[in-house]
């Protein structure tokens, strides 16, 4: 990636050297089969923009239901089996001889052999959540074997199969559609919005120093600004784009594959997403206009690169994507957006460049230097009520840190700490210590730090008492306070009660909720012995699938649940089977 400093008048001299030639790596096209036996329709594409991460696979629709057969895409062996209440839920990993690993997630259950192994480990450890790494000779798989069944487990928002292909050595996910796994896609991406950003105090967009948004009309190669306006620009300017892709037979607005930005036919910015490393995925918060996402839930992809953005997806970038408009000429701006099958859309518009006006910037050295946070060093802010320590490279660029406090709100045992603002992303976890106003010793283990957002319940970040402060680690800015959680979790039996006859029942279903700090542990027993209860965290439900552990006649079912502050609840009922 090239990030040399230049300006519009000298770009043509550097053009031959500035563009990084990009050629898509060749992947085996006939090695892997489809993981399903019906037409693939996607509800999510590889590299799609998600909260704090890029989507690491493709989401395959399963006809809106669970229980569809899932097939091994090639010969190999089961190298990992993971069961969790969130994230991927029930997931299976198969290692293949050609150096790739296939991943199948949000499953409802595994095939009999794998399911037997999982059940044994769960009862052995008396835990629902397991992470198993079988020996490579333990469970060998042939291409086309039924390995599992589709589901909606974990953090899934509806029945589907999340499917990935990863490089075995690097664990780097790669777009499965590059391997010859086909979908019907003859539609061009849609360009919805562009943003124009002034980068300095004397940079102007239509005579204003504020970002300017333009809605886009048209389709395919004929996208245009609504109204076909000529944009007046002066000084250092950057751009951003809101775009999505469409596929045949699916209404989903999915992620795109590549974006290119040209200024007078010179490639100023380009990125494409063949693959990425998990440890770089959070840099998505620098790729997008994070403040716009927090305020309006829109993901504008910026066509400039912040100093501490270490994404590997960039193919070619001039001057970090910052364009200097210093002459008095007209210039042509072109966006080209493509999907993985090279269906492309184009937006052309014209800008009028104006020499920037001279503005003498005044800086209050005493105030600004005190609160200036540089991204490439450790930063610390503290007074008698707060200590915040930010590791080196916690931010994507430098900024002036802001802080204030306001009076305590209901249920808070501290003032409200306004730590900078929620529109600035934080990349690394930092240590935050807040001082409560009045905390009796007996409640020290019940005190937690919470994030307060308008129209939302307080979000707990936990905390431990240390030297008069409550301390935690987190990676977000916003309004924080200290609260007490002394209320135990709630347990609600949905289909049983004491002395309930359940002869024809297949499950016992319990709802468990916690108001503040969240569920930590649960333990279900039948006649004094642990039984497996599957936890669906997104729906707050525990389910016991009645099996051999339920005996004929009277059984004693018990459940104990604790939250993250150690508050405990219990439930007990006799059931007749």
CATH number at residue 421: 2.60.220.30
Q: Is residue 8 part of a domain?
A: no
Is the separation of the CB atoms in 426 and 375 below 8 Å?
A: no
Q: Is residue 497 part of a domain?
A: yes
Q: Is residue 19 part of a domain?
A: no
pLDDT of 250 reads 83
Final residue in a domain of this structure, among 145, 179, 213? 179
Domain co-membership, 126 together with 194: no
Is the separation of the CB atoms in 118 and 83 below 8 Å?
A: yes
Task: Please tell me the distance from the alpha carbon of residue 532 to that of residue 307, in angstroms, as a whole number.
Answer: 49
Domain co-membership, 202 together with 172: no
Q: Is residue 506 part of a domain?
A: yes
* Adjacency order of strands within the sheet including 568-576: 500-501, 568-576, 554-563, 519-526, 529-530
Structure tokens at 436: 């409560």
pLDDT along the chain (577 residues), means of 10: 43 36 69 96 96 97 95 98 97 98 98 97 97 96 98 95 97 96 93 97 94 96 91 97 93 95 97 97 98 96 97 96 96 97 96 80 43 95 97 97 93 96 97 95 97 92 97 98 97 97 96 97 97 96 96 97 98 97
Domain co-membership, 95 together with 139: yes
Domain co-membership, 509 together with 542: yes
Q: Is residue 31 part of a domain?
A: no
Q: Is residue 415 part of a domain?
A: yes
Output the domain CATH number for residue 116.
2.70.70.10
pLDDT of 19 reads 36
Task: Please tell me the distance from the alpha carbon of residue 74 to that of residue 68, in angstroms, as a whole number.
Answer: 18
Domain co-membership, 254 together with 290: yes
Domain co-membership, 189 together with 150: no
In DSSP terms, 524 is beta-bridged to 559
pLDDT of 362 reads 43
Q: Which domain holds residue 159?
A: 42-179
Domain co-membership, 114 together with 68: yes
Output the domain CATH number for residue 337.
2.70.50
pLDDT of 12 reads 36
Domain co-membership, 331 together with 198: yes
Final residue in a domain of this structure, among 149, 179, 209? 179
pTM beyond cutoff 0.85: yes
Distance between alpha carbon 327 and the CA centroid of its chain, in Å? Answer: 41
Domain co-membership, 145 together with 79: yes
Task: Please tell me the distance from the alpha carbon of residue 114 to that of residue 142, in angstroms, as a whole number.
Answer: 14
Q: Is residue 29 part of a domain?
A: no
Domain co-membership, 382 together with 342: no
Q: Burial code of 50-77, b = ≥16 C-beta within 10 A, e = fewer?
A: eeebbbbbbbbbbeeebebebbbbbbbb
Domain co-membership, 448 together with 530: no
DSSP 8-class letter at 288: B
Q: For the chain, how many structural domains are there in total?
A: 4
Final residue in a domain of this structure, among 139, 157, 179? 179
Is the separation of the CB atoms in 352 and 326 below 8 Å?
A: no
Domain co-membership, 380 together with 328: no
Q: Is residue 18 part of a domain?
A: no
Q: How far is CA 310 from CA 292, 344, 534, in A?
A: 21, 27, 39
CB atoms within 10 A of CB 367: 10
Output the domain CATH number for residue 562.
2.60.40.1220
């Amino acid at each position: 990636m090239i990030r040399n400093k230049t300006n519009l008048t000298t770009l043509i001299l550097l053009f031959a050297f500035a563009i990084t030639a990009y050629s898509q790596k060749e992947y085996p096209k006939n090695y892997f089969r489809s993981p399903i036996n019906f037409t693939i329709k996607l509800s999510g594409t590889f590299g799609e923009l998600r909260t704090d991460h890029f989507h690491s696979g493709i989401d395959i629709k399963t006809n809106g239901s669970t229980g569809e057969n899932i097939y091994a895409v090639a010969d190999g062996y089961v190298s990992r089996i993971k069961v969790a209440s969130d994230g991927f839920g029930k997931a299976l990993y198969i290692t293949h001889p050609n150096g790739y690993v296939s991943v199948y997630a949000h499953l409802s259950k595994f095939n009999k052999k794998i399911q037997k192994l999982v059940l044994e480990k769960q009862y052995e450890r008396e835990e629902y959540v397991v992470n198993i790494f079988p020996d490579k000779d333990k469970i060998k798989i042939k291409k086309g074997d039924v390995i599992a069944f589709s589901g909606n487990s974990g953090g899934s928002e509806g029945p589907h199969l999340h499917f990935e292909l990863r490089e075995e050595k690097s664990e780097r996910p790669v777009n499965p559609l590059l391997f010859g796994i086909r979908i019907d896609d003859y539609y061009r991406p849609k360009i919805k919005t562009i943003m124009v950003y002034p980068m300095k105090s004397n940079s102007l967009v239509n005579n204003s120093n504020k970002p300017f948004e333009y809605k886009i009309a048209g389709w395919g190669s004929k996208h245009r600004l609504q109204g076909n306006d000529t944009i007046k620009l002066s000084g250092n300017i950057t751009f951003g784009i809101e775009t999505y892709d469409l596929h045949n037979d699916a209404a989903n607005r999915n992620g795109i594959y590549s974006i290119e930005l040209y200024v007078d036919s010179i490639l100023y910015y380009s990125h494409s997403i063949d693959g990425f490393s998990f440890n770089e995925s959070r840099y998505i918060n620098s790729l997008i206009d994070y403040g716009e996402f927090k305020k309006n839930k829109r993901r504008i992809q910026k066509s400039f690169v912040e100093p501490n953005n270490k994404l590997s997806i960039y193919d070619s970038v001039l001057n970090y994507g910052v364009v200097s408009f210093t002459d008095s000429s007209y210039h042509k701006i072109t966006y080209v957006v493509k999907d993985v099958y090279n269906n492309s859309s184009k937006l052309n518009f014209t800008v009028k460049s104006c020499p920037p006006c001279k503005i003498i910037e005044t800086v209050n050295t005493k105030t600004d230097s005190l609160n200036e946070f540089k991204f490439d060093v450790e930063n610390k802010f503290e007074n008698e009520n707060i200590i915040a320590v930010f590791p080196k490279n916690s931010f994507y660029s430098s900024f002036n840190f802001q802080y204030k406090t306001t009076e305590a709100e209901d249920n808070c045992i501290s003032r409200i700490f306004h730590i900078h603002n929620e529109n600035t992303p934080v990349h690394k976890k930092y240590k935050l210590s807040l001082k409560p106003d009045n905390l009796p010793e007996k409640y020290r283990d019940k005190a937690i730090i919470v994030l307060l957002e308008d129209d939302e319940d307080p979000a707990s970040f936990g905390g431990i008492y240390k030297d008069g402060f409550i301390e935690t680690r987190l990676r977000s800015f916003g309004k924080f306070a200290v609260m007490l959680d002394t209320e135990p979790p709630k347990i609600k039996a949905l289909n049983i009660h004491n002395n309930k006859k359940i002869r024809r029942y297949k499950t016992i279903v319990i709802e468990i909720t916690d108001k503040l700090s969240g569920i930590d542990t649960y333990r279900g027993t039948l006649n004094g012995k642990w039984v497996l209860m599957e936890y669906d965290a997104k729906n707050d439900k525990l389910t016991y699938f009645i099996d051999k552990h339920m005996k004929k006649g009277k059984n004693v079912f018990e459940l104990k649940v604790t939250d993250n502050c150690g508050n405990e609840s219990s439930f007990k009922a006799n059931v007749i089977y």
